[in-house]
Every structure is written in C-alpha cells, then in structure tokens.
Amino acid sequence: MKRAGGPGDEGVTIFVLDANRAARAEIAGCLRRRNHRVEEFGTIAGLEQALERREPDLLILEARLPDGDGFQLVEGLKKRACVPVVFVSCRSSCPERIRGLAAGADDYVGKPFSARELALRAEAILKRYRR
C-alpha cells in the first residue's frame, strides 16, 4: 500500500492518543501546522472506535494509558494492519523503550520532547512507509 508522507501532503492522517489533554494538543497542533490531518483521542476506547472506521497513516500514542496498555494495543494493531507507530512516554527507560519497539513501534520518544522533533521523526517514518 502506498502511503503519503511529507509536509503539506493532504492525504496524511495521523491519530494521536494521549490521556493528557495538554500533551495531546501540543502534538496535534504542531502536526496541523505542518499541514497534516490529525484526529485526537484521550482513551483507547475512542481510538478503537475510530480504527473500525479507518486506518490512519501514522499513530502517535502514550505508552501507558488510564484505560489500558498501549503496548498491547500496538501488538494487536500490528497483527491486523500496517500502521507505523510512535510511542511518546514519560517512561523512557531502556526496558520501556525496548518493550515499545518489541511491540512493533517504529520509534519511541521520551517526554519531555520537542513537538517539532516529533513531527520530523513522524514525517521520516511516513516517507519510509510510502515506498
């Protein structure tokens, strides 16, 4: 499947899942300023409902969420879809990063982070999936 990938590419939809509204808004705002379509979710349940309707070009999510485990979510998602994933988390120890990558993530970014750096990492991943 060919995927979209760069700034200004209107075909790119990125789902952002983070229970922290401020963190979610910061990520989404930066991505929107780079002309990406963004859908925001505060819960795994909300994300799963959206995934029933459409598959995003990229998923950015917090590893630990109040209503479930992001690692398990990604493991299940990767079994049924080819969606690139970036974890963002305040838990960024080596074992946590390894667990995220082992679950199928394409990147793992520790909080605090630069929203611009995250957007650039996301765009680099999208370019790789586009080929």
pLDDT at 6 (0 to 100)? 47
Structural domain including 123 reads 13-130
Tally the residues of the chain: 131
Whether 69 is covered by a domain: the verdict is: yes
Domain presence at residue 82 = yes
Q: Peptide bond preceding 66: is omega within 30 degrees of 0, i.e. cis?
A: no
Residue 121 lies in a domain: yes
Question: Residue 16 to residues 61, 94, 95, 131: CA-CA distances in angstroms?
Answer: 6, 23, 23, 23
Which CATH number fits the domain that encloses residue 102? 3.40.50.2300
Mean pLDDT, range 47-76, rounded to an integer? 95
Give the CA radius of gyration of the chain.
13
If you write DSSP's letter for every residue of 85-125 in order, what string do you get?
EEEEES--SHHHHHHHHHHT-SEEEESS--HHHHHHHHHHH
2: in domain: no
Q: What is the count of structural domains for the chain?
A: 1
- State the pTM of this model: 0.89
In a domain, 8, yes or no: no
Q: Is the pLDDT of residue 7 over 70?
A: no
In a domain, 4, yes or no: no
* 3 domain residue, yes or no: no
